[in-house]
Amino acid sequence: EELGTERSEMAGDSSTKKAPQPLPLWKSFGASAFSACTAELLTLPFDTGKVRLQLQGTPTPGVAPKYKGLVGTVGTIAKEEGAAALWKGWQPGLHRQCLFGGLRIGLYDPVKSQVSRLMDGEGAAESSFGAKVVSGLITGGVAISIANPTDLVKVRLQAQGRQALAEAGKAPPKPKYPSAMAAYRMIAKEEGIAGLWTGVVPNITRNSVINATELATYDQVKQMLLASKIVDDNVFCHILSGLGAGLCACIVGSPVDVVKSRVMGDSVGMYSGTVDCFVKTMKNDGIMAFYKGFIPNFTRLGSWNVAMFLTLEQVKKLISE
């Protein structure tokens, strides 16, 4: 009888323990946009190096590749184009993070609350991992569908480095796009308004998958660390969770990331679409091309996630007090 009473009390306690309520959407969006922009500025040189490595095809036998590794690529870009070139595309990068980052991260908790209610039932103490993944897929897909033009312009600006485009023995041409705003106008004029959504299918695929992996992994790792009592809810916990999120996102998202960069960086019509890019990359460069730049990609994603989540946790703490 006492055991039955104890069970009923335990059941009553668990039923009254509910998941914490998310911040209002406007606060969540603002905190997410600010945190994403901070992380973008801190880690953009890694992203520029990653894009150059991905766009570099398999070199001719006997000819040394232009870019070697993250440090070598960053050094080559800084030497040939100046240190400022490492932040090439910072304007559309911030446009992208304000819009895409604010939406995908800001919507995650409100969407997760509703998805968890459907998948886990009313009053669940914690959202299931499945609910977290579904929420990340939804917010990532919706956000990039809106923000694709900012991503396209960012990749085009990063890919058009003057030395990167120069042919051997010839003077490097002037950049096609002098600024981010000019790039938006020129792409719309030359390729039509729909041209701003070039690569939107691989971009939705990539960003839905990476967003779900990042946010669900961070959420889950943090939950497990706190439940284990190994660490408290502090900076060390956020760093470990951010690194875990970056590693998982890099492993899962590298193939679609390479295809996305090549399709978006293609302004000469080399690829007719996502599938064509996938097939040509596989045929010409082999399967390992889909993990080209994996180390700089992880360096970028790992450091980006740590910077973003550290900033986000602190900003949320400030605005919720």
The pLDDT of residue 170: 59
The pLDDT of residue 175: 79
Q: Tokens for 253?
A: 């998202």
CA 179 to chain CA centroid, nearest Å: 23
The pLDDT of residue 9: 44
The pLDDT of residue 88: 81
The pLDDT of residue 173: 67
Encode pLDDT of 231-242 as tens digits.
999 999 999 999
State the pLDDT confidence band at 29, using cuts at 50, 70 and 90: very high
Instruction: Write a three-state SS string for 183-213.
Output: HHHHHHHHHCHHHHHCCHHHHHHHHHHHHHH
State the pLDDT confidence band at 320, using cuts at 50, 70 and 90: confident
State the pLDDT confidence band at 10, using cuts at 50, 70 and 90: very low
**Number of Cβ within a 10 Å radius of residue 289:** 19
The pLDDT of residue 161: 61
pLDDT for residue 18 is more than 70? no
- Of 142, 291, 113, which Cα lies nearest the Cα of 211? 142
Encode pLDDT of 270-290 as tens digits.
888 888 998 999 999 898 888
Which of 20-29, 52-61, 224-233 comes out lowest in average pLDDT? 52-61
- The mean pLDDT of 173-196, rounded to a whole number, is 90
Distance, in Å, from the CA atom of 315 to the CA atom of 270, rounded to the nearest integer, reads: 44
- Written as one string, the DSSP assignment of 89-118 is THHHHHHHIIIIIHHHHHTHHHHHHHHHHH
> For the chain, what is the mean pLDDT?
84
pLDDT for residue 16 is more than 50? no
Encode pLDDT of 139-171 as tens digits.
999 999 999 998 888 888 877 764 454 554 556
pLDDT for residue 19 is more than 80? no
pLDDT for residue 191 is more than 90? yes
Distance, in Å, from the CA atom of 75 to the CA atom of 296, rounded to the nearest integer, reads: 13
